[in-house]
Amino acid sequence: MAHGWIILDKPLGLGSTQGVAAVKRNLREAGYGKKVKVGHGGTLDPLATGVLPIALGEATKLAGRMLDATKTYQFTVRFGEQTDTLDLEGAVIATSDVRPSRADVEAVLPRFTGPIEQVPPAYSALKVDGERAYDLARAGVDVQLKVRSVTILDLQLQDFDAEAGATLLAKVSKGTYIRSLARDIAHACGSCGTVTMLRRVQAGPFDLSHAISLDKLNEFGKGAPLEQILLPLEAGLDDIPAIDLTPEQARAVRQGRVLTGMPHEDGLYWARLGTVPVALVELSDQEVRVVRGFNLSDVAE
C-alpha cells in the first residue's frame, strides 16, 4: 500500500484535478489498481505552474492541513492592461497609459505587507448562492465577491522590466489570491495590470526541491520504483515537532484514548512509534488528544 506525497511540478496548462488524474493513472499502470486514495493539497490554476502536493493513502488525511498552510508564489504583473480574469486567459476590460517605474512599485509594496483586505477575482472557485463564481462570470453575471482578510507574510520585488513588468515573490496566508494582489499593486501604482506568470515555489513544508516533473511521474508508470518519486507521510509534518511514544502509548493513541502527563509545551505535534507516524495530536496541559489518526499499525508492529 502506498502512503505519502508526490510533489508535482505542475506544468502550464494542466489543471490540479488533471495532476491528480495523472498520478492515479500511473498508479494503475504500475499495478496498484484503484486501491490507493489520492488527493491534492491546494488548487493551482491551469495557467499557474509549480508545487502541487498530491497525497497518497493515509497522507490524504493531511490534505486539508495543506490547504491551510502558508504558500509562496513568484509572479509577474504586466502594467497597462487588466483582463476580466486578471491573467492572460481573459479579455481586456481596462487599459492605462501609466507605466510605473521600479521605484514606484517598491514604494507601494509596504502597503501590501502584513494583514490586508482584498476582493477575490470574479473568476475564482468561490461560491455565490451555491454557484461557482467563475461559472457565473462566464455566464455574464456581474459577480460581486466580499472583501476578505488575508496576510502577506513577505513581499519582495525580484525583477523589473519596463515592458514585461514587475516580478515579485510573495509568501502568503491561506485564502490569498495572487491575481487580486497583482491587480491591487497595479492600481496603487496608478495603473492597471494583469498576471502574465504565476509559479508556486512553496506550499507548507514542500518546495521546488521536492518536486518532480510530469515526465518523471510517467517513468514510474513505466516501471521506475515508486521510492524515486514518493516522499513519506511524515514529510508533510516537517513543520511541526514529533513526540516519541512507547508501544503501550501508541496503542492507546490508536484507540483514541487521551494520554496524560506528557512533559511537552502545548501545541500541535505528530506522534510516532519508532519512525512510523501514529497520529497528528494536540497537546494541552500535558494531555495528548488525537486530531487525526494514521492507520499504519500494520507497518509499526
Q: Which residues are catalytic?
A: 45
Q: Contact, 5 vs 53, CB < 8 A?
A: yes
Q: Contact, 292 vs 62, CB < 8 A?
A: yes
Q: What span, in angstroms and rounded, lies between the C-alpha atoms of 148 and 231?
A: 34
Q: What's the alpha-carbon Rg for the chain, to the nearest Å?
A: 22
Q: What span, in angstroms and rounded, lies between the C-alpha atoms of 105 and 77?
A: 11
Do strands 267-273 and 242-244 pair parallel, antiparallel, or not at all (unpaired)?
parallel
Q: What span, in angstroms and rounded, lies between the C-alpha atoms of 168 and 243?
A: 38
Q: Which of 35, 23, 3, 61 is nearest to 233 (CA)?
A: 3
* 71 Cβ contact list (under 8 Å, min separation 6): 42, 171, 172, 174, 176, 200, 202, 203, 204
Sequence letter at residue 294? F
Q: What span, in angstroms and rounded, lies between the C-alpha atoms of 20 and 130?
A: 25
